[in-house]
Amino acid sequence: MAISRAVAYLESRKNLAGSAGGLAGLVLTFTGVAGPYWPVVVAGLYGAGALIAPPERPAPPDFPDPSAQLDAVRADFATLRDYLKGVDLPSAAAGELDGLLELLAALLDPGWSGELLAQDPEGAHVLSRTVRRDLPEAVDSYARTRWWTRMAPGNESPEHHLERQLGLLRTEAERLAAVLREAEARRQESHTRYLEDRPK
């Protein structure tokens, strides 16, 4: 530990700047400027160099880029689809789920939508939250509540709650698709203006 700290200091900016100041002190000594006080001059210039050197800056953390994060969401989406195949849903909810899954698959497509989402952290977060938390929770809570409802019927059917939840998730995914479509439309309009304004 002490050795690694010593090595780190030897390679630090403070030591390098201090060493440069110390060398300047030696030059002053050999030229006769420092006189009999040369040790004080060398040590003083070393200390001054070490003090004015910029502090060490730790390297920033190496987080995965957005496209790598989307790859992880795509893998989780494939796992989610496998899970959903084994869940028995009522026909109305199953139809709503199919539409939602189709929309999510289009949004997670590695082509044009993937490129847009890589530049939209909020949109990528919405997709991640839907795939990893909201949709599995909606289906799982339906399955658990349905089992209890068979034993003790309640006021509102779990099927109705599931349909509402799937509808809300689909609306959220449609809003995200509209945002991405608008981004592409703005990009197209910007290119049109660029071509129109370019000198002929």
Please state, in angstroms and rounded to a whole number, the distance separating the CA atoms of residues 93 and 78: 20
Query: Does residue 146 contact residue 152 with C-beta atoms inside 8 Å?
Result: no
Q: Which pLDDT score, from 0 to 100, does residue 102 have?
A: 94
Would you state the pLDDT for residue 44?
78
Cα(36)–Cα(134) distance, integer angstroms? 78
Structure pTM? Answer: 0.64
Sites in the chain below the pLDDT cut of 70: 1-2, 4, 6-11, 34, 56-57, 63-66, 112, 148-155
Copy the structure tokens of residue 143: 């399955």
pLDDT tens digit string along 51-87? Answer: 777 776 677 777 666 677 888 899 999 999 999 998 8
Q: How far apart are CA 91 and CA 85, in angstroms?
A: 14
DSSP secondary structure letter of residue 37: G
List of residues 6+ apart from 107 with CB closer than 8 A: 113, 117, 127, 173, 176, 177, 180
> What's the CA gap between 97 and 81, in Å, rounded?
11
Q: What angle do CA 103, 169, 188 make, to 5 degrees?
A: 45
Q: Which two tokens stand for residue 60?
A: 């920033």
SS3 36: helix
